């Protein structure tokens, strides 16, 4: 019967044997001499593979080759195949999700969630963390079966090549930042709930809006933006740290406004003057839901699906989502923190 590697290795496999097996006959010596001259075969950790004795040298060739094949079979179950699988966590440099420099380096709320909750929940894997532009992250999640990201918004395009966990975080959605002195300019586009109707604003073509071309702002907003991405009312640089640059451009009056997360611009302005911090106002968008759900995303590979399956079980445990939310809330102001907490409780049906 032909044994598969999986059959031979139902029990823990020995390490691979020496490549000298099976021994070649030596025509100048009789069989007894062969047994004395051939060195014992050892695996990489010293387990000895059987050498031919004088009696065994008389074995028929099929029997000898069967033993050789079994020894060679150990090779397919070598330590490299049994080693722990590795997850490569790709993060993008978007403070305060991920902070790569300055006094708060390493304390981004996505970094803390990854290192304090997600990685400890997956002890059977090796973990590598890579900070990269978001364009590369999307590429790696398409091409690298070991790639994951701890916090992405789920949309139809990404579902084609990513697999997603159950929601990890109910975050406040992105909105629009404008100069406070321009409130009258946006007034015609503000609805009764105080939210800007983005589609109407872009249709009128009287407002120059900055966006990060590589980011998703949520499905409905992405759909509104799509027809305008090549038109002059949208300024969409494809550069690292685009949001920081857009913030500076709004303050400098080079553009009229920008889309961003509620925590984002206050973080960028943290080291600037009080006048600059107060100069910008945040508006919610009519097209947005009350909350945006974040998910762990992995490549839609066999390993990626296994990782997501394990994380879903962990996320269902009491206190896990609360711990993730605490990292996020630490970067919000008091008003936003109260709103985010209310939205989290509503989304996950958490009792006060």
Distance CA 234, CA 246 (A): 12
Same domain assignment for residues 61 and 145: no
Q: Which residue has the higher pLDDT, 156 or 76?
A: 156
Residue 75 lies in a domain: yes
Average pLDDT, the chain: 78
Q: Are 169 and 293 in contact (CB under 8 A)?
A: yes
Distance CA 48, CA 32 (A): 20
What pLDDT does residue 59 have? 46
Candidate ranges 11-20, 54-63, 262-271, 302-311; pick with highest mean pLDDT? 302-311
Full-model pTM: 0.61
Range(s) of the domain holding residue 182: 175-283
Helices (H), 15-130: 31-37, 61-76, 79-82, 109-113
Same domain assignment for residues 164 and 300: yes
Same domain assignment for residues 11 and 96: no
Domain boundary among 81, 109, 132: 81
Number of domains in the chain: 3
What pLDDT does residue 339 have? 73
Same domain assignment for residues 39 and 68: yes
| 113: CATH | 3.40.190.10
């Amino acid at each position: 019967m032909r044994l598969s590697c999986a059959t031979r290795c139902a029990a823990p496999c020995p390490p691979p044997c020496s490549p000298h097996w099976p021994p070649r006959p030596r025509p100048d010596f009789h069989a007894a001499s062969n047994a004395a001259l051939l060195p014992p075969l050892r695996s990489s950790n010293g387990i000895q593979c059987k050498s031919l004795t004088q009696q065994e040298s008389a074995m028929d060739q099929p029997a000898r080759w069967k033993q050789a094949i079994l020894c060679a079979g150990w090779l397919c179950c070598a330590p490299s195949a049994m080693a722990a699988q590795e997850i490569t966590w790709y993060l993008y440099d978007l403070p305060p999700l991920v902070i790569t420099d300055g006094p708060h380096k390493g304390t981004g709320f996505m970094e803390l969630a990854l290192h304090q909750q997600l990685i400890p929940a997956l002890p059977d894997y090796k973990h590598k963390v890579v900070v990269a532009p978001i364009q590369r992250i999307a590429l790696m999640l398409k091409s690298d079966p070991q790639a994951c990201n701890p916090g992405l918004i789920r949309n139809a395009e990404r579902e084609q090549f990513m697999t997603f966990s159950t929601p990890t975080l109910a975050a406040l959605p992105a909105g629009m930042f404008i100069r406070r002195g321009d409130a009258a300019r946006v007034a015609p586009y503000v609805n009764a709930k105080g939210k800007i109707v983005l589609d109407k604003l872009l249709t009128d073509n009287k407002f120059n809006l900055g966006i990060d071309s590589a980011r998703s702002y949520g499905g409905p907003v992405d759909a509104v933006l799509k027809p305008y991405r090549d038109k002059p009312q949208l300024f969409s640089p494809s550069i690292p740290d685009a949001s920081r640059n857009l913030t500076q451009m709004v303050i400098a009056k080079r553009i009229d406004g920008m889309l961003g997360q509620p925590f984002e611009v206050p973080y960028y302005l943290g080291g600037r003057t009080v006048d600059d911090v107060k100069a910008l106002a945040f508006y919610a968008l009519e097209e947005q839901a009350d909350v945006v759900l974040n998910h762990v995303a992995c490549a839609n590979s066999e390993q990626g699906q296994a990782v997501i399956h394990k994380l879903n079980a962990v996320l269902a445990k009491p206190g896990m989502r609360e711990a993730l939310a605490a990292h996020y809330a630490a970067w919000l102001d008091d008003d936003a923190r109260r709103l985010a907490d209310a939205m989290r409780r509503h989304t996950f049906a958490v009792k006060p």
